[in-house]
Amino acid sequence: QKEVEQNSGPLSVPEGAIASLNCTYSDRGSQSFFWYRQYSGKSPELIMSIYSNGDKEDGRFTAQLNKASQYVSLLIRDSQPSDSATYLCAVIQSGGSYIPTFGRGTSLIVHP
Amino acid sequence: ETGVTQTPRHLVMGMTNKKSLKCEQHLGHNAMYWYKQSAKKPLELMFVYSLEERVENNSVPSRFSPECPNSSHLFLHLHTLQPEDSALYLCASSQAQAGANVLTFGAGSRLTVL
C-alpha cells in the first residue's frame, strides 16, 4: 500500500527558532508534493507545493524535496506562535493520478 | 459566497436517522471530494467526482452514499451510521490535472453519531 508517513508530534520549538517538519513516502514514482496547514478547528489550507528536487522558498517557509531518499520536508524560519498548527504532507503518486494521499500530520507548537 | 461552503457545520444524529451533508463550490473547479478526518489518522479519501468520473475508496461502508448532480454541488447521504463514523467530514474541490492538483477545502461538517 502506498503510504505517506509523518511523525504526529507534537513538535515543540521556541519562538524565533527553525521548525523542521518531515515526511516520507513509499511510491518512488511520486511526482507532486504539498504542505497544508490546519489550525485547530479549521480546514486545511495549502502553504507550499514542490515538484522538483531541491529547495523552494516562500517567505519564512522552505520546502525541500529529495526524490532519491523519498522525503520532503518543510522548514519554518523565525517560528511564531501563530505558526502553531498541524502540518499535513500530501503526495500525488505516479501513474497519471491527480488525487493526493495525505499523511496524518505533524502538530507544531511554537511557545513564546 | 466564495470558495467551498459546507452545511451543516455540526450534525448530531442517531444510528437510525437519515441525513445529508451538502457542499457547494464557487471556484469553477472540475473535481469535488469527500474526505473523512478522524483524530490521529490521515485524511481518508472517501469519494471523488471529476469530469463525470466517480472514484471511490472501496473501504467506505455502503451507509455513506455520495451524489454529485453537477460540477458545483456534492452531497453525502448518511443512513444507519455507527458511533465510529463520528468525525469531521471535509469537502474539497480542485481543478483536477495529473500531478499539479491543489485542493481547496470547505470548513467541514462535524458529525456525531449517538
pLDDT in tens, chain A (112 residues): 678 999 888 999 999 999 999 999 999 989 899 999 999 989 999 999 999 999 999 999 999 999 999 999 999 999 999 999 999 999 998 777 788 999 999 999 999 9
Per-residue confidence (pLDDT) for residue A21, from 0 to 100: 97
**Lookup: cell for B51:** 469530469
Q: Do the strands A11-14 and A106-111 form a parallel or antiparallel pair, or are they unpaired?
A: parallel
What the block records as the C-alpha cell of B114 is 449517538
Q: What is the predicted pLDDT for the residue at B1?
A: 61
Residue carrying the nine cell digits 473547479:
B29
Q: Answer whether B99 sits within 8 Å of A105, measured CB to CB.
A: no
Q: How far is CA B76 from the centre of its chain?
A: 6
Q: How far is CA B22 from the centre of its chain?
A: 8
**CA nearest B4 in A: which residue?**
A43
Name the one residue in this structure whose C-alpha cell is 494521499: A101
User: Do the beta carbons of residue B46 and residue B27 sit within 8 Å?
Assistant: no
Contact assignment for A105 to B42 by CB distance below 8 Å? yes
Expressed in angstroms, the distance from the first to the final Cα of chain A is: 40
Helix (H) or strand (E) holding A104: none
State how beta strands A4-5 and B104-105 pair. Answer: unpaired
Distance from CA of A30 to the nearest CA of B (A): 9
Q: Which residues of B touch A46 (CB under 8 A)?
A: 102-104
Per the CB < 8 A criterion, the answer to whether A102 and A88 are in contact is yes
Q: Under an 8 A CB cutoff, do B31 and A100 touch?
A: no
Q: Quick check: A100 and B101 CB within 8 A? A: yes
Q: CA-to-CA distance for A74 and B36, rounded, in angstroms?
A: 24
For residue A100, which residues of chain B lie inside 8 Å, CB to CB? 101, 103
Residues with pLDDT less than 50, chain B: none
B106 close to A (CB below 8 A): yes
Q: Cβ distance A103 to A23 under 8 Å?
A: yes
Selected residues 24-83 of chain B with any CB under 8 Å from a CB in chain A? 31, 33, 35, 40-43, 45, 48, 50, 55
DSSP letter at B51?
T
Q: Which residues of chain B make contact with A43, given a CB cutoff of 8 A?
A: 90, 105-108
